[in-house]
Amino acid sequence: MLDSALAAQLRAIVGDAHFREDKEARITHSYDGTPMLQAIPDAVIYPKSTEQVSAIMKVLSAYKVPLISRGSGSNLCGGTVPVQGGVVMVMHRMNRLLELDTDNLVARVQPGIITADFINHIESLGLFYPPDPSSMRISTIGGNIAECSGGLRGLKYGTTKDYVIGLEAVLANGEIIRTGGKLMKDVAGYDLTKLLVGSEGTLAIITEATLKLIPPPKSKMTMLAMFRDLYGAARTVSAIIESRIIPATLEFMDNPTIRVVDDFAKLGLPLDMEAILLIEQDGDPETVARDIEMIRRICEREQADSIQVAADREEAERLLTARRSAFTALARLRPTTILEDATVPRSKIADMVRRIKEIAQKYNVTIATFGHAGDGNLHPTATTDARDAEEIHRVEQAFEEIFAAALELGGTITGEHGVGVVKAPFLEWKIGASGVEVMKGIKKAFDPDNILNPGKMFAKETKKRVIIHHG
């Protein structure tokens, strides 16, 4: 429970309707997209403006009460679960497009705008904002920035960090800072913009963002290549990149994923394939046609069983939508679905897929794998049952080993979902003890009392690296 004087001050800032301490509000902000995590906050607040956010932070920092900023709660790392209680701040009301500057090709938005709404609007004006996390129909731009989300177009166009060029943010003490701007070049001091992108709500609350837009590609082609041999598919990914083609999208689904996706989206995919690659190229029509032809040849060389080019945009969109729903469709199999996010250099996709299979077998757990193969970002996904403690333990062991394998192959513990609570114990594996110390120093500089999203990113204890048995 919050101190009543504190509650009264918060209420005064946003008004009665937008500050809630009742059970209904608290329970419905105790979880996010992450399975098996829940913690009930003391209150929920819905600010309408930067000034309100600033006023709220001044009050909260005086009382040293934690603040968890929240977009749509679609993250998968426990990023918005209020593990130490406190106030959840929902950004949905701050959802306006503030400015569209077509001379400079930039947009200024509030953080609560829904990603897909923003993208649709921008595209209707003949412009292009490439970051497209599979959750874009629900996620917010603020959440995307805080997690540095990537998506199906990341391979060619980069991820959120490549499009955020300026921010307005409120610090833990309530002060407002502005970083970057409508500038394509800016080297005045440390790059605080990039630092805040991916900071998972632990450094500041983003209240406004300036986003870079680009002209849309002139044409686009989508193809589907199916493989009976898993490694043939993985080798195709490496071969495409080696031959200096960067497709706009290069997605991978293994057999268990194909089955559930087809069951959900009714696409009539062949269920006996070991892997499917979904490949998209965009750009000038001639380049697109040439690239798609070269990719087709590579697929043939790697013994693709069949290769289809989508007849029209509608068909292509259906395929992309199906791929976007892979994760949730997998959830039909067993009561609990745990999706992970291990990333390796893209030349190592085949090795990584093989390792995941071996590890799953070793621990006798079911792990389906799909992901953004083109940028090495795989999503090994365990279908399991949270009520079976013993099985969950095996799943956890398997994942530890998968992360270790990813690092061993020169990869990382998360490619796009962030650290949050879930990956915190593994952070040190990736960046080392001194890396963690530097990061903690940064955190202290921004938030000396540790009230912004506490308990995230830095774990009390780091997991021991598992020893990997080969053979």
Partner 1 sequence: MRCGFCLPACPTFRESGVEPESPRGRIALMKAVVDGLMEPDGMFRDQMNHCLGCRACEPVCPADVKYGQLIEKARDAIEDHPNHSLPVKGMRKLFFKGIFPHRNRLKVLGGAMKFYQKSGLRRVARETGMMKLFPRHLQQMESILPDAGVHGVVEKLGTVYPAKGTPIARVALFRGCIMDVMFAETNCNSVKLLSEAGFEVVIPPEQVCCGALHAHSGEMELARDLARTNVKVFKEMNVDYIVSNAGGCGALLIEYDHLLHEDAVWKEQATWFASRVLDISKLLLEYGRLPSFAESSVSVREPIVVTYQDSCHLRNVMRSGAAPRQLIRQVGNVIFEEMKEADRCCGSAGIYNVMQPEMAGQILEHKMENVNATGARYLLTSNPGCLLQMKLGLEKHSNTDKMEVQHVVDFLYERLI
Ligand X SMILES: Cc1cc2nc3c(=O)[nH]c(=O)nc-3n(C[C@H](O)[C@H](O)[C@H](O)COP(=O)(O)OP(=O)(O)OC[C@H]3O[C@@H](n4cnc5c(N)ncnc54)[C@H](O)[C@@H]3O)c2cc1C
Residues in contact with ligand X by CB under 6 A are 32-33, 68-76, 79-80, 91, 111, 133-135, 139-140, 142-144, 146-147, 149-151, 200-201, 205-206, 327-328, 416-417, 453
Site string for partner 1, 72-91 (x = CB under 8 A): xxx---------------x-
> Side chain identity at 260, as an amino acid letter?
V
Which option in partner 1, ligand X, none does residue 21 bind, with CB closer than 5 to 8 A by kind?
none
Q: Distance of CA 164 to CAs 36, 73, 108, 259, 397, Å?
A: 32, 21, 10, 37, 37
Q: Mask of contacts with partner 1, 105-134, x by CB under 8 A?
A: ---------x--------------------
Site for partner 1 in 226-265 (CB under 8 A): 264
- In the list 331, 436, 439, 466, the residue contacting partner 1 (rule: CB under 8 A) is 331
Minimum gap (Å) between residue 16 Cβ and partner 1: 14
Contact 139, 149 (CB under 8 A): yes
146 binds, among partner 1, ligand X, none (CB under 5 to 8 A by kind): ligand X
Hey, is 87 helix, strand or coil?
strand
Taking the C-alpha atoms of residue 20 and residue 43, their distance in angstroms, rounded to an integer, is: 6
* Binding map of partner 1 across residues 22-61, x = CB under 8 A, - = no contact: xxxx-xxxxxxxxx----x-----x---------------
Among 3-11, 20-28, 163-171, 409-417, the segment contacting partner 1 (CB under 8 A): 20-28
* Of residues 111, 93, 94, the one with CA closest to residue 211: 111
Residue among 329 and 367 whose Cβ is closer to partner 1: 329
CB of 244 to ligand X, least distance (A): 26
Q: How far is CA 155 from CA 241, 250, 258, 302, in A?
A: 10, 8, 22, 21
Residue 331 binding target from ligand X, partner 1, none, CB below 5 to 8 Å by type: partner 1
Contact with partner 1 (CB under 8 A) among 219, 255, 287, 328? 328
Q: Token pair of 394, please?
A: 């095996």
CA–CA gap between residue 147 and residue 141 (Å, rounded): 10
Q: With the C-alpha atoms ordered 451, 453, 458, 461, is the resulting torsion angle positive or negative?
A: positive
> Which of 345, 326, 312 has the alpha carbon at shortest distance from 276?
326
Give the H or E element holding residue 106. strand 106-109
Smallest gap from residue 454 Cβ to ligand X (A): 11
Q: Name which of ligand X, partner 1, none residue 180 binds, using a CB cut-off of 5 to 8 Å depending on partner kind.
A: none
> Between residues 32 and 254, which has the closer beta carbon with respect to partner 1?
32
Task: For the CB of residue 124, give the shortest distance to partner 1 in the complex, in Å.
Answer: 14
The one-character DSSP state at 463 is: P
Gap between the Cα atoms of 277 and 281, Å rounded: 13
Q: Looking at beta carbons only, is 33 or 455 nearer to partner 1?
A: 33
User: Identity (one letter) of the amino acid at 314?
Assistant: E
Indicate the burial class of 286 (C-beta count within 10 angstroms; 0-12, 13-18, 19 or more). exposed
Through-space distance between the first and last CA atoms of the chain, rounded to whole angstroms: 54
| Contact of residue 27 among ligand X, partner 1, none (CB under 5-8 Å per partner type) | partner 1
Bridge-based pairing of strands 87-90 and 43-45 is parallel
Stretch that binds partner 1, among 179-187, 298-306, 329-337, 458-466 (CB under 8 A): 329-337
Give the integer Cα–Cα distance in Å for 345 and 111: 32
- Region 259-288 residues binding partner 1, contact defined as CB under 8 A: 264
- The residue length of the chain stands at 471
Q: Which residues bind partner 1 (CB under 8 A)?
A: 22-25, 27-35, 40, 46, 72-74, 90, 92-93, 114, 135, 137-138, 264, 325, 327-329, 331-332, 337
